[in-house]
Amino acid sequence: MSLFSSESAWLCLAATAVLGGMLLCKSRSPGQLRSQVVCLAALWGGAYLLSLSLLCSLFLLSVSCFLLYVRSSDQDLLPVDQKAVLVTGADSGFGHGLAKHLDKLGFTVFAGVLDKEGPGAEELRKNCSERLLVLQMDVTKPEQIKDAYSKVTEKIQDQGLWALVNNAGVFHLPIDAELIPMTIFRKCMAVNFFGTVEVTKVFLPLLRKSKGRLVNISSMGGSVPLQMFSAYISTKAAITMFSAVLRQELDKWGIKVVTIQPGGFRTNITGSQESWDKMEKEILDHFPKEIQEIYGQDYVHAQKLTLPVMQEKSSQDISPVLWDIQHAISARNPSAFYSPGRMAYLWICFAAYSPTSLLDYLIKRIFHPGQLPRALRTAR
């Protein structure tokens, strides 16, 4: 008897195809789509490994598609209705693109920038509507955060702030943790993590009033231990856990907390040639003599040369990140996590479930720094 001779099998297959197609078409964001595809593929693979009959496998898959479709009915986007959104780090990169994107959609946007007179801020004022307000907001300076809070409160009156997007962040030269000066560790933590915490604490009363959204920009590296990025991804791991705790604590107030974990995208966070030279000099200036003999200055220089390569391999199109953040802000029932970017979601899943030895092996093979320290080169 053929596997597909059963009318029940054909019925389950048809139901699976229809529901699966409707589910994928209904997805409003790339991250949501990717997650659903991977979950359904894993379900099918699990059924196969359990040696379930074709009929049982198709029935299980069709029921799962139906449940996911029912759940996705809450994913419809809410109307803008002049909702107010604060975005930090809007000078460039994700924050700059998001401020423009949300302004076009009709949101009232508060764009927090590091330099109110800089080119990024000027471009926002020039190209966006009058609804967008540029705010001087260095997230490491409490007085600027409080001043921004006063300006936001003055403009929105009793409406409340619908969403806060904590995006401001800094990067560092990719190199071994042993060589990263403590000043860089502290700067990354001050901007990426403590800045996020302080801005969140100051603006929570406005989010509570609107029962709105808190969206924190983390990174794929917050869940995947990528070598050479210890100072940066440690802060992103802290943001991921901070967000997870707040998601539980703020639920009673009706505030939804979302974590965005992007993969590799080309933004200005990696800096320019001038900033790379400055980071290299800072590392070399902190080189103890013993460490200099072990690693060598040429090793640090070689690591600096990986930054242009990393930029070249990163995606120029940041729209998947913008769509996911828009979905997190606007969906009636957003996901807790979004992972835009090539392979980001798969890497996060792999890091969570694979044996540590296998994960370490693959990361060493794929993200190998290239040149070895001087002591290891001479020992060969």
CA angle, residues 261, 266, 272, in degrees to nearest 5? 125
- From the CB of residue 245, how many other CB atoms can be counted at a distance below 10 Å? 10
Residuewise pLDDT in 10s, the chain (380 residues): 444 445 555 555 555 555 555 544 545 455 555 555 555 555 555 555 555 555 565 566 566 665 555 555 456 789 998 899 999 999 999 999 999 999 999 999 999 999 999 999 999 999 999 999 999 999 999 999 999 999 999 999 888 999 999 999 999 889 999 999 999 999 999 999 999 999 999 999 999 999 999 999 999 999 999 999 999 999 999 999 999 999 999 999 999 999 999 998 988 777 777 888 888 888 888 888 888 889 988 888 888 888 887 877 888 899 999 999 999 999 999 999 999 998 898 899 899 989 999 999 999 888 776 788 888 877 66
345 annotated active-site: no
Q: Which residue in the list 48, 149, 232, 345 is annotated as catalytic?
A: 232
Which residues, at least 6 apart from 169, have a Cβ–Cβ distance to it below 8 Å? Answer: 89, 191, 192, 217, 235, 269
CB 150 within 8 A of CB 172: no
